[in-house]
Chains A and B, each alone.
Chain A
Amino acid sequence: MNKSAVAGVVAQGRRALHRRADPARIMEGRERRFAAALLAPAFLALMATTTFPLLFLIWTSFYRMNLSMPFMDGFAGLDNYRELLADPRFWQSLGVSLVYTASTVVLQVVIGLALAVLVHGMRRGQGLFRMVAILPVVLSPAVVGMVWRSFMLAPDFGVVDYLAVTAGLGSHNWLGDPTLALVSVIVIHTWQWTPFAFMVLLASLAALPDDIYEAARIDRASAWQSFRRITLPLLRPAIVMVIIMRTMVALTAFAAIFTVTGGGPGTATEILNLYAYRKSFTELSIGYGSALAVALLVFTLVVSGVLFALRRAK
């Protein structure tokens, strides 16, 4: 067969293939349109509730918009951001956010991991622990905040205060003292969300094979060595995932702090999120409040970027 004959046959084959592929392509197009129609409402709702408000927020952050002084409103350019950089209360709230986030996440992971290892080693009663653990998680943070404020931390008749007095530490104004108030909101967040870390890490632990721990015993690794050299590295992906998820939530925490301290005393527990809220809806300075919220958004994005980079590393 010569070259042109081969080319002819090939072309013929290709045409035949095309004819056969055409109906399939029509079907495919139809299917895609149908899928798009199904998705459209959800997509539009998502746009309307997330993307649009976000764009609106960024837009307002470039305006002077103060409901108590509406006559001053107008385009402000970067004024809000200039003000923000020079605002000590902004830096203070960013610092509180950092302390709050770092300490709650570290505490959740450390305590959650310790509990998971402990419960994983138990032969019986694991189910009970799992069930008890889920309780704080399903409570609304606002309810948790109220419960802690009224039953746990109230001076004289709160459970914590009672325990402190019994232990000889004396009665304290847990939410009135700046340091104690910050410690209190950190403890409350840790109390509510450690079970989440616990459950995720327990499930990951249960998925690890048993035989490598027996091999480690044969290789004469101590319990601590097999935790350090085997459990931790194998749990790393789960731990990093928990850190990422909990960091995102802690950075944008609101309800529990709002109900327990409202950011006080003074600004002792005022995280950036709360400051943005107060600026916008208590002081009615919407433009500046928006700039604060955008700053929080940028900060959150930077932190998550760093964490995801860490996850990929090694």
Chain B
Amino acid sequence: MSARGQVQLDGIVKKHGAFAALKGIDFEIKPGEFFALLGPSGSGKSTTLRILAGLDAPTSGRILVDGEDVTGADARERDVAMVFQSYALYPHMTVFENIAFPLEMAKRPKAEIGPAVREAAAKVKIEHLLDRKPGQLSGGQQQRCALARAIVRKARLFLLDEPLSNLDAKLRLETRVELKKLQRSLGVTAVYVTHDQEEAMTLADRMAVFMEGEIRQIGRPADVFAQPNSIEVAAFIGSPPMNLIPARYQDGSVLIGGRRLPTMLQTHGERDVVVGVRPSAVRFEADGIPATVEVVENLGDAAILDMSLAGTALRARYDRFPLPREGDAMGVTVRPEDIHLFDPVSRRRL
């Protein structure tokens, strides 16, 4: 049973005419894993999920589920469950009938269906709504109904396409936690599409970062956050995004604002680099590099400072009070272990 829900994608290419939506996608998901497909809008996440579900066929490449090649199989034959971004509830059926539908299609005996529907509804806390039609539900309730319909059949794969994106911010946070608990309690393999890096960071065991139809990096969220392998991934992961400053590298240090900042990279020679610094890694010291505060965005318990440092923009997180004021001069510095170095030409991590 524990080996159920293993997924492997091999060189998946999807073309729409001359346009390649996917340019060769490879990854493997372990049984029971929560795997996120993260990337900006239009990067091919939904396309990948739909190909995995069997709703669309790839132009080339192979899909294996539990070691079995399902590339040519339709969605009906794949034993997957899916939550659509639009929820895709059947508008003429009640919540009960919606949740019961996959069981009826699987020809389960009537006596089994009622209890199974009620159990699934209870898991997402909508037992009291079973007689309503989707049109009489709020967005959050519709989303739960879609979840219940997906979990009721106990499919081997659980696919979710931006399931939280249509909810308001507060509900999104609540549901995120519940979703994680639900997946853990079911022990089912989940593939989760999102453009929200915070969602991927908090939910996923591992994630694949998509850009322009390619996977740029795969790994545990913490690892991707700590070691982004390219400028694009570095800029996408983290909020507010990483500062990326063109600079000169010289024998183990970078030159910024006329000062030398030591880095962890110790090679001889000189070259152009892009220095990456997370806003939270910027430290304030009186004898640091001089910078001017231009805008203060107060978040309540901290602030984001938009600063100008020798002509380049730098964003920093600041959590000491009182906050500096716009126009103030401050000294900033960065520890060697907080400096990410990238090649400006290949855009890869150095």
Contacts and interface: CB of A to CB of B under 8 A. Distances in A.
15 contacts: A215-B89, A215-B149, A216-B101, A217-B55, A217-B76, A218-B81, A219-B105, A220-B105, A220-B106, A221-B105, A222-B105, A229-B90, A230-B92, A233-B92, A234-B91
Contacts of A220: 75-76, 102, 105-106
Interface stretch (A62-70, A153-161, A206-214, A238-246): A206-214
A225 interface: yes
B88 A217 contact: no
A215 B90 CA distance: 9
Contact of A218 (B82, B86, B89, B90): B82
A221 B101 contact: yes
Contact of B80 (A209, A211, A218, A233): A218
Nearest to B85: A211
Majority secondary structure of chain A interface residues (helix, strand, loop or mixed): helix
B102 A219 contact: yes
B129 to A, nearest CB: 19
Contacts of A217: 54-55, 74-76
B53 interface: yes
B76 A222 contact: yes
A215 B88 contact: yes
Contacts of A209: 86, 88
* The 10 residue pairs across chains A and B that have the minimum distance between CB atoms: A211-B88, A215-B88, A219-B102, A217-B75, A220-B76, A233-B92, A220-B105, A218-B82, A221-B105, A211-B86
B72 to A, nearest CB: 15
B75 A214 contact: yes
Interface in B27-57: 53-55
B91 A212 contact: yes
Contacts of A219: 101-102, 105, 149, 153
A182 B212 CA distance: 65
Interface residues on B, range: 20 to 34
A215 B81 CA distance: 9
A219 B153 CA distance: 9
Interface in B92-123: 92, 101-102, 105-106
A228 B132 CA distance: 21
Contacts, number: 56
B84 interface: yes
Contacts of B80: 218
Interface residues of A, number: 17
Interface of A: 209, 211-212, 214-222, 225, 229-230, 233-234
A209 B153 CA distance: 24
Interface of B: 53-55, 74-76, 80-82, 84, 86, 88-92, 101-102, 105-106, 149, 153
A243 to B, nearest CB: 19
Given A211-B86, A214-B84, A217-B55, 19 more contacts: A209-B86, A211-B88, A212-B90, A212-B91, A214-B88, A217-B54, A218-B81, A218-B102, A219-B102, A219-B153, A220-B75, A220-B76, A220-B102, A220-B105, A221-B101, A221-B105, A229-B101, A230-B90, A234-B91
Nearest to A219: B102
Nearest to B103: A219
Contacts of B84: 211, 214-215
Contacts of B106: 220
Contacts of B82: 215, 218
A222 B105 CA distance: 8
Nearest to A214: B55
A209 B85 CA distance: 13
Given A211-B84, A211-B86, A225-B105, A218 B53 contact: yes
Contacts of B76: 217, 220-222
Contacts of A234: 91-92
Contacts of A229: 90, 101
Contacts of A218: 53, 55, 75, 80-82, 102
A230 B149 CA distance: 16
Contacts of B86: 209, 211
Contacts of A222: 76, 105
Contacts of B88: 209, 211-212, 214-215
B30 to A, nearest CB: 23
B51 to A, nearest CB: 13
A229 B105 CA distance: 10
Contacts of A233: 92
A1 B91 CA distance: 56
Contacts of B101: 216, 219, 221, 229
Contacts of A216: 90, 101
Nearest to A212: B88
Nearest to A234: B92
Contacts of B91: 212, 234
A212 B89 CA distance: 6
A85 to B, nearest CB: 45
A230 to B, nearest CB: 6
A218 B149 CA distance: 11
Nearest to B152: A219
B73 to A, nearest CB: 12
Residue of A222, A229, A234 with most partner-chain B CB within 10 A: A229
Nearest to A229: B101
A24 B55 CA distance: 61
A175 to B, nearest CB: 45
A286 B141 CA distance: 66
A234 B92 CA distance: 7
A209 B80 CA distance: 21
A225 B101 CA distance: 11
B142 to A, nearest CB: 13
B134 to A, nearest CB: 10
A209 B84 CA distance: 13
Contacts of B102: 218-220
A306 B190 CA distance: 52
Nearest to B159: A218
Contacts of B75: 214, 217-218, 220
